[in-house]
Amino acid sequence: MVARTLLALYLCQVAFMAQGQVFDVPHQQDAPTRTLFVGVQNPKALVLLFPGGGGMLRLKDDGSMRNQHTFVRSLAQWDQYQIAAVLVDTPYDLGDLRRGDRRNEDDHLKRVGEVVSFYKSKTGLPIWIFGHSMGTSTATYFVNQLNEDSKKLTGIIIAGTVRTALLDDRVRLPVAAIHHQQDECKGTPPSASQDIISGRPKNYISRFEVIEGGISEGDVCVSFAYHGFNQTEPEFIKRAAQFILNQK
């Protein structure tokens, strides 16, 4: 089992290096925000992927990385839905629920806005923000700003949502929340996703998706647990992609 997992990760990493392109999005006089863009033929949308944990992917110049987050493992699967995908890195640790969450800080949110603007200008595609685990904190904080940068988005997807995440009722974007039924991480109970969707105004486009199956390995809060949709990645991406493509 371990050998198969490692082989799959290696093959995925090789594919990313062959297909992806690194873009460093400028940020004032400081370190840029590094991103990995994986384009597709005849794209219908673009999704910005914000991982959990401290948010640091440590993307190298060639697009490779050692990170094994859910978004990394599933990056190549967006192609079949004609959705371009972008992994968004951070030059510094964004913290977590235990150590303190820094995703509401102005510098981080400014970087997110710069990435949104960069890819909107570069592609002209509908831009979606997708956060997993602590990345849901980035996604919700960003759209809750209701500023010019957040208004460039077409929609938001959250998965394995942290219990502290909230969505302002004034955010009228389509919202999907995806959660694994057996997620046992105390900071990300399934109710965190369900409550956001059930609390949305009834005339808004909102959807709650539950994933079942797969396996759980290691700590219940890491990406190889049910929390990270381990071995249900195809269904995970399918649910998100279908929601994106269904919004006209």
Residue 196 corresponds to which amino acid?
I
In this structure, of 92-106, 146-160, 176-190, the range with the lowest mean pLDDT score is: 92-106
What SS3 state is found at 161?
coil
What pLDDT, on the 0 to 100 scale, is given for residue 100?
Answer: 78
What pLDDT, on the 0 to 100 scale, is given for residue 14?
Answer: 37
* pLDDT level of residue 233 (50, 70, 90 thresholds): very high
Domain 2-246: CATH superfamily, name plus number: Alpha/Beta hydrolase fold, catalytic domain (3.40.50.1820)
What pLDDT, on the 0 to 100 scale, is given for residue 3?
Answer: 39
Please determine, for residue 17, whether its predicted confidence score (pLDDT) is greater than 70.
no
Give domain limits for the chain: 2-246
Sign of the Cα torsion 19, 28, 95, 93 reads: positive
* pLDDT level of residue 9 (50, 70, 90 thresholds): very low
* pLDDT level of residue 66 (50, 70, 90 thresholds): confident
H-helix segments, the chain: 2-19, 70-73, 106-123, 135-144, 190-198, 233-246
pTM: 0.92
| Average pLDDT of the residues in 84-92 | 97
Contact (CB, 8 A) for 49 and 76: no
* pLDDT level of residue 96 (50, 70, 90 thresholds): confident
What pLDDT, on the 0 to 100 scale, is given for residue 2?
Answer: 45
Question: In the chain, how long is the greatest CA-to-CA distance?
Answer: 48
| Average pLDDT of the residues in 121-139 | 98
Cβ neighbours of residue 194 closer than 8 Å, sequence gap 6 or more: 177, 179, 208
Contact (CB, 8 A) for 84 and 38: yes
Residue 40 corresponds to which amino acid?
V
* Four-point Cα dihedral 95, 101, 104, 106, nearest 10: -40
